[in-house]
């Protein structure tokens, strides 16, 4: 792969990141309401995607246990408890595995 | 919130080292380093290595970049209303827009007083973005130098679902958000099982689809 192709890939990536934040006007209140609903579902989806590999294969036991630990503490609605729950879950998963 | 991005940075560094080790054989040392410096996208860079390994030509690489980067348009649109600075500063901040920094920025904005949402969002996007960018570069250098961190790959891999669950919890401000999050997770799992080729696009598509209908409670 040449440097030119690499630079093109970088430009495509940067353009996709900057396009909405630079070119979009501030959204209307109606559109803003819809946009405000997007983050939680996207993060839940990303979490799911990281737990499923190719062909829907599940992640390793410790990783699933870590996710379960984080999920257990998610009602706290704070990142630190989720990280602690995830670490504890991972440790339990390793011990049981 | 920036301090909380440090565990994510550690995981990013581990994956950066794996990328550096894997890409060195296909791109050579200089281009591997340049790729992390100017692309700064783990998903795309790993995909490039996989495509090059399969003998792909330039067009599939560019198409893959286009498809994988579509999600940034949605993330950027969701973040746009919280950014109050001018276009030049927003253009700079755009470079640091990745899944994790988006989450930290949204969470920081949610935690801020109404009049400080813009400043908190932008500050968090910049500092967590810089932190993760440096971690990605350092990891790539370590990998290129042959110091892969494969021994902790499992732990680093476990951090990402934990992080995203935590960010989802932070992003929930209404009960209906929980319902939408669960629906999006199920939709993503369904796509991963039934349409595995679309697995990388599924999170954003699912996120948008479940955000559209109904009102907020």
The pLDDT of residue B2: 66
The pLDDT of residue B216: 65
Neighbours of A28 (CB within 10 A): 10
What does the pLDDT look like over B43-91, one tens digit per residue?
899 889 888 888 888 888 898 888 888 889 888 998 998 998 999 999 9
ipTM of the modeled complex:
0.86
The candidate with the shortest Cα–Cα distance to A64, out of A90, A95, A30, is: A90
- Please give the Cα distance from B9 to B25 (Å, whole number): 25
The pLDDT of residue B1: 64
If pLDDT is split at 50, 70 and 90, which confidence band does B150 have?
low
What does the pLDDT look like over B6-27, one tens digit per residue?
888 888 898 898 899 889 888 9
- Please give the Cα distance from B1 to B100 (Å, whole number): 12
The candidate with the shortest Cα–Cα distance to B170, out of B110, B90, B82, is: B110
Contacts of B79 in chain A (CB under 8 A): 20-21
What does the pLDDT look like over A1-38, one tens digit per residue?
789 999 999 999 999 999 989 988 877 888 888 888 88
The pLDDT of residue B148: 60
Contact B201, B71 (CB under 8 A): yes
A19 touches chain B (CB under 8 A): yes
Contact A38, B74 (CB under 8 A): yes
Contact A35, A27 (CB under 8 A): yes
pLDDT surpassing 80 at residue B143: yes
Half-sphere exposure of B193 (CA within 13 A, CB side): 8
The pLDDT of residue B8: 85
pLDDT surpassing 80 at residue A86: yes
Contacts of B177 in chain A (CB under 8 A): 37, 40-41
CA distance B171 to chain A (A): 5
Q: What is the mean pLDDT of residues B119-145?
A: 94
A97 touches chain B (CB under 8 A): no
pLDDT surpassing 90 at residue B183: yes
pLDDT, mean over chain A: 88
Contacts of A89 in chain B (CB under 8 A): 162
pLDDT, mean over chain B: 87
Contacts of A55 in chain B (CB under 8 A): 193, 196
Cross-chain residue pair B4–A7, CB shorter than 8 Å? no
If pLDDT is split at 50, 70 and 90, which confidence band does A97 have?
confident
Beta bridge partners of A52: A58
What does the pLDDT look like over B86-116, one tens digit per residue?
999 999 999 999 988 998 998 888 888 888 8
Closest residue, chain B, to A36 (C-alpha):
B78
Closest residue, chain B, to A60 (C-alpha):
B154
Contact A38, B94 (CB under 8 A): no
The pLDDT of residue B151: 64
Cross-chain residue pair A77–B102, CB shorter than 8 Å? no
| pLDDT above 90 coverage of chain B, percent | 34
The residue ranges of every structural domain in chain A are 1-37, 39-97
């Amino acid at each position: 792969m040449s440097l030119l192709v690499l630079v093109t890939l970088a430009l495509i990536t940067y353009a996709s990141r900057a396009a909405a934040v630079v070119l979009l006007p501030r959204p209307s209140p109606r559109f803003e309401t819809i946009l405000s609903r997007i983050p939680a579902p996207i993060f839940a989806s990303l979490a799911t995607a990281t737990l499923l590999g190719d062909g829907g294969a599940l992640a390793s036991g410790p990783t699933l246990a870590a996710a379960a630990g984080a999920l257990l503490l998610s009602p706290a609605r704070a990142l630190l408890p989720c990280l602690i729950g995830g670490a504890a879950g991972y440790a339990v998963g390793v011990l049981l595995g | 919130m920036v301090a909380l991005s440090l565990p994510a940075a550690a995981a990013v560094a581990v994956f950066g080292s794996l990328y550096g080790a894997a890409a060195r054989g296909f791109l050579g040392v200089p281009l591997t380093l340049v790729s992390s410096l100017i692309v700064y996208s783990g998903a795309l860079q790993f995909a490039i290595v996989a495509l090059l390994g399969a003998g792909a030509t330039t067009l599939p690489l560019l198409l893959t970049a286009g498809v994988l980067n579509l999600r940034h348009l949605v993330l950027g649109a969701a973040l746009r209303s919280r950014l109050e600075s001018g276009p030049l500063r927003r253009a700079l901040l755009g470079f640091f827009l990745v899944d994790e920094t988006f989450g930290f920025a949204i969470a920081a904005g949610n935690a801020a007083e109404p009049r400080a949402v813009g400043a908190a969002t932008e500050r968090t996007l910049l500092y967590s973005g810089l932190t993760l960018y440096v971690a990605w570069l350092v990891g790539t250098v370590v990998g290129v130098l042959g110091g892969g961190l494969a021994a902790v790959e499992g732990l680093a891999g476990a951090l990402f679902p934990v992080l995203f669950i935590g960010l989802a919890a932070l992003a929930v401000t209404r009960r209906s958000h929980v319902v939408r999050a669960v629906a999006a997770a199920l939709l993503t799992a369904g796509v991963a099982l039934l349409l595995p080729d679309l697995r990388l696009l599924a999170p954003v598509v699912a996120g948008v689809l479940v955000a559209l209908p109904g009102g907020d409670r």
